[in-house]
Amino acid sequence: MNIYLIVFIYLFLNYASQNEDGSEVERTSRFSTTLPGVAHVPFLTPAVVQERRPLIVAVMSAAASGTSKAAHGDVAAKRKKGPGALATAYLVIYNVVMTAGWLVIAVGLVRAYLARGSYHGLYYSIEKPLKFFQTGAVLEILHCAVGIVPSSVVLTGFQVMSRVFLTWAVTHSVKEVQSEDSVLLFVTAWTVTEIIRYSFYTFSLLNHLPYLIKWARYTFFIVLYPMGVTGELLTIYAALPYVQKTGLYSVTLPNKYNFSFDYYTFLILIMISYIPLFPQLYFHMIRQRKKVLGHIEDYGKVE
Partner 1 sequence: MVNSKSATGNKRVANGAVVPAPLPVQAQSKRKPAKKTKKAVVFFEVEILDAKTKDKLCFLDKVEPNATIGEIKSMFHKSHPQWYPARQSIRLDPKGKSLKDEDVLQHLPVGTTATFYFRDLGAQISWVTVFLTEYTGPLVIYLLFYFRVPFIYPPKYDFTTSKHWVVHLACMCHSFHYVKRLLETLFVHRFSHGTMPLRNIFKNCTYYWGFAAWMAYYINHPLYTPPIYGEQQIRIALIIFLFCQIGNFSIHIALRNLRPPGSKTRKIPYPTKNPFTWIFLLVSCPNYTYELGSWLGFTLMTQCLPVAFFTLVGFIQMTVWAKGKHRSYLKEFRDYPPLRSPILPFIL
- Using CB under 8 A, list all residues that contact partner 1: 66-68, 253-260
263 vs 282, beta carbon nearer partner 1: 263
CB of 254 to partner 1, least distance (A): 4
CB of 51 to partner 1, least distance (A): 14
CB of 72 to partner 1, least distance (A): 16
256 vs 301, beta carbon nearer partner 1: 256
Nearest residue to 38 via CA among 144, 124, 139, 110: 144
Amino acid making up residue 17: S
Alpha-carbon torsion (197, 203, 206, 207), positive or negative: negative
Residue of 201, 232, 264, 282 with catalytic role: 232
d(CA 61, CA 156): 10
Nearest residue to 140 via CA among 75, 102, 95: 95
For residues 251 and 260, the answer to whether their CB atoms sit within 8 Å is: yes
Collect all residues with Cβ–Cβ distance below 8 Å to 116 and sequence separation of at least 6.
Answer: 122
d(CA 137, CA 281): 20
> Is position 303 annotated as part of the catalytic site?
no
For residues 24 and 289, the answer to whether their CB atoms sit within 8 Å is: no
CB of 156 to partner 1, least distance (A): 19
81 vs 256, beta carbon nearer partner 1: 256
257 vs 299, beta carbon nearer partner 1: 257
Residue of 94, 225, 263, 264 with catalytic role: 225
For residues 278 and 291, the answer to whether their CB atoms sit within 8 Å is: no
118 vs 255, beta carbon nearer partner 1: 255
CB of 282 to partner 1, least distance (A): 24
For residues 244 and 59, the answer to whether their CB atoms sit within 8 Å is: no
> Is position 232 annotated as part of the catalytic site?
yes
Collect all residues with Cβ–Cβ distance below 8 Å to 192 and sequence separation of at least 6.
Answer: 106, 220, 224
Catalytic residues: 225, 232
